[in-house]
Amino acid sequence: MAVYHSAELLPYNPPFSLSSPASAQQVLAVGAVDVRSQKLADYSSNGPSWDNRLKPEVSAPTGTKSQAYRLSSQTDRFHGTSAAAPHITGLAALLASASPQLRGVELRKAVEQSAQPMGDPQPNHGYGRGLAVARPVAGSSASQPPPPPSSSTSERVRRTLGDLLHKE
């Protein structure tokens, strides 16, 4: 028989709650920081890894507004590390676009170095190195949009996508 009482149960992720695949050495684990409170989300797993490495390495926003998510739920906010991880993917893409020589380990380091420290001590096993933040790249002008792709590039992309979508 289960006995329940009126106490509110809150999620809590103790140290070492982070598991596979996020605990793998090759994986950049991402913590979730609530966009409104700027605090680590209570469901965001904590490190360290089983062999005592820093995990997560960085954190990213969760609870962000999303029109796409609004269409399929009661709220227009997208929560979870599944919301935070795409922010890191986007940041990595921006960094690689600004510095095409960044690949692999160097790109990972650039993502980690973008973190705005959060929590104490620093780094820590909740926020990692902190909240990853995209900053303007030196020498670039954020007010100038990139030039439109040439018609030959657009045609090549269209053909490639068409080929990929229609292969059997």
- Listed by start position, the domains of the chain span 12-136
Question: pTM of this prediction?
Answer: 0.71
* Torsion sign across C-alpha atoms 88, 90, 93, 94: negative
Q: What is the per-residue pLDDT across 68-116, written as a single tens digit (0 to 9) for each?
A: 666 666 677 888 888 899 999 999 999 998 888 988 999 999 999 999 9
Q: How far apart are CA 132 and CA 94, in angstroms?
A: 12
Per the CB < 8 A criterion, the answer to whether 84 and 60 are in contact is: yes
- In this prediction, residue 6 has a pLDDT band, given cuts at 50, 70 and 90, of very low
H or E segment at 65? strand 64-65
CATH hierarchy code of domain 12-136: 3.40.50.200
117 and 132 Cβ atoms separated by less than 8 Å: no
d(CA 54, CA 125): 6
